C-alpha cells in the first residue's frame, strides 16, 4: 500500500466520522450505545489534510455492552472512585487512557513517581507487596488533574457496532489507517510528546496497540459508510446534543 493511499484513506475516514455528532462533557451517559467504536479528539490537535479540522488522537472499541462504562471510566463520572487508599486500585487502573495521560504528566515534570504509577495495583498480591510505596495524596491530585484534562480537553464521536459485526477487528484497521498517515502529526505542544512510551510519541495517538495494523479496505469503507448513513448513531444522540 503506497504512502499516498494511506494518506487518502486517513482523510476519507476522518471526513466520514466528522458527519457524526460531537460529544463533549457533560453528556448523558444513558444516550450512548451498549457497544461501539469511539474516536477521541483533543483541543488544538489538527489533522494534516488541510485546514484546521480536528485530528483523531485515540480510537477504541467497546463490546458486550460495556461502551457506557468505558466512557464513564475515562471521564471518571463516578466521583466516588476517587475515595481510594493504598489497599485499593485507583481510577487509572480502569482506564489505560487515563494511565497514559498520567504517564505523560509525570514524565513532563521528571517525577520519580512514574515508576510507581506504572505498577498495576488491580491485583491484591501486588497491592500487598508494593502498596507501601504509594503516595495516595499525590495519586489523587494527579487523578483530579487527569479528570480536568479529560473533561475540558477531549471530545469524541462514535459509531454503534453490534458484536456480531466484528468491532474489535475493525478497530485495529481504523487505528492502522490513522497511524500510517504521513500527514496527521501531533503539534509541538501536544501532551503526548512527553509520554515515556515511544509508540505514543511517534504515532501522535494515545495508543500502543494496533499501530502497525493494516488500514481499512474498500469493503471496510462500505461497511463504515453504511453504519454512518444508517442514522443509528444520530438516533442514539438525538437527546444528547449540547
DSSP 161-195: --GGG-HHHHHHHHHHHHHT-SS----TT-GGGG-
Whether 15 maps to a domain, the answer reads yes
Whether 33 maps to a domain, the answer reads yes
Per-residue pLDDT of the chain (242 residues; tens, 9 = 90+): 456 889 999 999 999 999 999 999 999 999 999 999 999 999 999 999 999 999 999 999 998 889 999 999 999 999 999 999 999 999 999 999 999 999 999 999 999 999 999 999 999 999 999 999 999 999 999 999 999 999 999 999 999 987 544 555 899 999 999 999 999 999 999 999 999 999 999 999 999 999 999 999 999 999 999 999 886 565 555 545 44
Whether 222 maps to a domain, the answer reads yes
pLDDT value of residue 7: 96
pLDDT in tens, 44-85: 999 999 999 999 999 999 988 899 999 999 999 999 999 999
Count of domains forming the chain: 1
Whether 242 maps to a domain, the answer reads no
Whether 125 maps to a domain, the answer reads yes
The upper half-sphere exposure of residue 118, i.e. CA atoms within 13 Å in the direction of its Cβ, equals 11
pLDDT value of residue 48: 97
Instruction: Print the domain residue range for 188.
Output: 1-237
pLDDT value of residue 242: 41
Amino acid at each position: 500500500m503506497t504512502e499516498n493511499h494511506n494518506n487518502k484513506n486517513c482523510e476519507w475516514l476522518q471526513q466520514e466520522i466528522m458527519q457524526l455528532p460531537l460529544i463533549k462533557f457533560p453528556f448523558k451517559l444513558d444516550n450512548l450505545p451498549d457497544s461501539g467504536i469511539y474516536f477521541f479528539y483533543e483541543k488544538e490537535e489538527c489533522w494534516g489534510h488541510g485546514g484546521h479540522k480536528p485530528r483523531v488522537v485515540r480510537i477504541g472499541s467497546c463490546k458486550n455492552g460495556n461502551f457506557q462504562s468505558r466512557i464513564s471510566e475515562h471521564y471518571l463520572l463516578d466521583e466516588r472512585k476517587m475515595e481510594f487508599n493504598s489497599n485499593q486500585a485507583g481510577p487509572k487502573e480502569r482506564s489505560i487512557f487515563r494511565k497514559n495521560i498520567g504517564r505523560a504528566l509525570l514524565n513532563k515534570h521528571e517525577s520519580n513517581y512514574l515508576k510507581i504509577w506504572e505498577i498495576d495495583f488491580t491485583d491484591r498480591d501486588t497491592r500487598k507487596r508494593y502498596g507501601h510505596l504509594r503516595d495516595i495524596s499525590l495519586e489523587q491530585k494527579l487523578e483530579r488533574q487527569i479528570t480536568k484534562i479529560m473533561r475540558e480537553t477531549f471530545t469524541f464521536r462514535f459509531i454503534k457496532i453490534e458484536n456480531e459485526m466484528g468491532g474489535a477487528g475493525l478497530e485495529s484497521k481504523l487505528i492502522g489507517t490513522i497511524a500510517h498517515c504521513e500527514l496527521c502529526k501531533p503539534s509541538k505542544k501536544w501532551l503526548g510528546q512527553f509520554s515515556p512510551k515511544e509508540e505514543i510519541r511517534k504515532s501522535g495517538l494515545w495508543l500502543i496497540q494496533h499501530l502497525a495494523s493494516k488500514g481499512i479496505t474498500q469493503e471496510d469503507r462500505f461497511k463504515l459508510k453504511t453504519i454512518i448513513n444508517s442514522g443509528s448513531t444520530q438516533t442514539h444522540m438525538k437527546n444528547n446534543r449540547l
